[in-house]
Amino acid sequence: MTNNEKNQSDSKIKAVFNVFKSRPNQHLNYKQVSRIIEANTDEERRQVLEILRECTKQKMLKRVGQGKFRLNSQKEKQQRRIKRVITGCVDMTAQGYAFIASDETEKDIFISQHNLNHALHNDIVKVNIYNTKRTHRIEGEVIEIIERSKQNFVGIVELSGKNGFLIPDSRQMPHDIFIPADKLNNAKNGQKVVGRITDWAKNMRSPIGEIIDVIGDPGENDTEMHAILAEYDLPYRFPAKLDELAKDISEKITDADYAERRDFREITTFTIDPDDAKDFDDALSFRKIKNGKYEVGVHIADVTHYVLPDTPIDKEAAERATSVYLVDRTVPMLPERLSNFICSLRPNEEKLCFSAVFQIDEKANIIDEWFGRTVIYSNRRFTYDEAQQVIENKQGDLCDEILILDKLAKILRAKRFKDGAMNFERAEAKFILDEKGKPVNLYFKESKDSNNLIEEFMLLANRKVAEYIGKTQKNKKAKTFVYRVHDTPDETKFNKLKEFVKRFGYIVKPASEKDISRELNKLMDDVKDKPEANLVETLALRSMAKATYSVDNIGHYGLAFPFYTHFTSPIRRYPDMLVHRLLAQYLASGKSAEKNYYQEMCKHSSMMEQRATDAERASIKYKMVEFMKDKIGRQYEGIITGVTEWGIYVEICENKIEGMVSIRGMNDDYYYFDDENYCVTGRMHNKKYTLGDKVSIKVVRSDLERKQIDFVIINEE
């Protein structure tokens, strides 16, 4: 069925159902309904009868007597015994039904499409849980939508006469949106657009909406990247008025600025960043001091000197909360004049910074620390590869400084892991794109000594800033602060991981919470370079809690730090700007800040960080599908990374690209899903495909519209 045919069918269903909605107490047969909606031909009356039967199956109508139907009233539904009422989050399926995840129940609650009552994916809802004869699942009905997760949807517009329909891209949005002619916003048939729901009457199957932006033609790189951002409610354009305001910000450093800052311009300073970086938020300074000790400065762009609270630029940054990094572009949190010019710690330029300066001995013990505002002059900009060459060859620019810092970083790193820090170093997929944004090659970026050098000193600065604020003196009230927190692993998920890795011969037996990290680090070492490495690492990461921002410190489990914050990236993260402002306030002996505001900002920043991460993954997935377009028919070795009732997910070993083998397409047997054992099993021949199994596959489809790669398993002869 085409989308146009589907829309026509939906319209007929609505028309039939509305007949009964307007006559809630009448019993009608198909001829009476046909006459009311003017279905005059035999074919149209047959369609009405089919709709009546389907509505009865969906419990929208009830059959009463021979050939007659009536509305399945809400009162009658309420006569079902309500077991309890809970609040939870909607997890919508592509098939239109949903599950409700709630802290108030051990199992998710099944909600049929008919009982969703217009609830959509990720909405927070109130649900009646019913007693049911079915023992294998809990069923319920949405009775109230407490909070909509989103109003805007991305999709293709299809014109039908003067009106149109928005066909959402997301498979978790099962309803097309009707767009009246005067709300099309000049969108042309087939274009990708952003639409907003404006009305959704209780008796309407589909919502009514309007087009708020036309993104462009499907398949074009900019269109697809903008569509990904819009899908996650992330901005894809910077307001022109803010760029204009940024032009008025002076880059000149005044005499007053010099006077109130510690001067580091004569001390050797440099940056190490990726090849394509333009926003350099951090620099390191180094010098030897007396008694064989070193002074290491971690210098961070002083963004809050230029961006004052509650100004338009600050409000925009707060709303965005983070820069977004897609495969082919960066969507900045700040106007480019600030992020790439004024605040960027570019070489051979004086820059204003907020710094953490440490006196360190040769065993990487911190002897003294200082925090405050500075002015620096960067002598050299290194790429990670350039700095790595200095470390490996022991020669080149600033060789002595880099080698000593590398030695100190390795000691700090060893101490972290000894204290229980976790070591997840997954290879990061990177694409080489042509001038049109098409992926022509794929490689994996590995973390080397130069990356670790910068990482360790950024971690040190973040940890010490958090300790400075968080370690309060006896009898003193803790000051409001923004912490980066990470909870202990989820016990249920961790136990599942332990059971799963047994099939590969790995034994994980932690004796305590602290031992979990050591056991996981050992597991990561054991699976390194093995075919199952990526799968095991993925499952291990899923067993972990997500790091978030909070004013309530619980420590950072993954880093094994009792106190931790984000101080080192204010160009691209708003929480770092908040930390800079709070640190400046407390260094000046200011009172503790108002807690509620910062807690709300922590919650918002955590949410926006997750959206940005999801968008980045979606852009990688899109490019992977695009990369495989010209590889139809090729055969690869893969490993099963997921098993569901509808298909088997397989990751290609050589490039880590994942696709799906549809169970319906497995013609050698009838396979059923065994969720307890992570496998599908053939009924006749008992052949099993289990999570972690190695399989040979052939690429049969790479569908950019569905963002999905389809495989078939090559059966052994």
- Where helices occur in 312-378 by DSSP H, the ranges are 312-320, 336
User: Do 41 and 100 reside in the same domain of the chain?
Assistant: no
- Residue 75: per-residue pLDDT: 46
Q: Which domain holds residue 199?
A: 152-218
Q: Cα separation of 180 and 211, whole Å? A: 10
Structural domain total, the chain: 6
361 plus 436 within the same structural domain:
yes
First-to-last alpha carbon distance for the chain, in angstroms, is: 37
Q: State the DSSP string of 637-648.
A: EEEEEEE-SSEE
Quote the pLDDT of residue 350: 98
How far apart CA 506 and CA 527 sit, in angstroms, is: 9
Give pLDDT, residue 475.
Answer: 56
From 147, 174, 194, give the residue that closes a domain.
147
CA 48/CA 38 separation, integer angstroms: 11
pLDDT of residue 697: 95
Q: Do 447 and 513 belong to one domain?
A: no
233 in a structural domain: no
Residues 128 and 141: beta-carbon distance below 8 Å: yes
Same domain, 266 and 367: yes
Residue 318 lies in a domain: yes
Asked, for residue 467, whether it belongs to a domain, the answer is yes
Of the residues 512, 527, 544, which one is the last residue of a structural domain? 544
Do 324 and 423 lie in one domain? The reply is: yes
Residue 346 placed within a domain: yes
pTM for this predicted structure: 0.83
For residues 608 and 575, membership in a common domain is answered with yes
Q: Which of 92, 115, 147 is the last residue of a domain?
A: 147
Backbone dihedral region for residue 456 (phi beyond 0: left; psi -120 to 50: alpha; all else: beta): alpha
Mean pLDDT by 10 residues, the chain (717 residues): 56 78 78 84 82 80 78 56 85 86 85 89 92 69 92 92 92 91 95 94 86 95 95 91 95 96 98 91 96 96 97 97 95 95 97 98 96 98 97 96 98 93 78 92 89 97 96 74 92 79 80 72 81 77 88 93 97 98 96 96 97 95 95 94 88 92 88 82 89 91 91 77
Lookup result for tokens 């910000």 = 249
> Which CATH number characterizes residue 696's domain?
2.40.50.140
Residue with token string 């939508």: 145
Same domain assignment for residues 13 and 70: yes
Is residue 229 assigned to a domain?
no
- Residue 322 and residue 456 in one domain: yes
CA distance 160 to 2: 12
| Residue at 236 is within a domain | no
Q: Is 187 part of a structural domain of the chain?
A: yes
CATH of residue 31's domain is 1.10.10
If asked whether residues 465 and 495 sit together in one domain, one would say: no
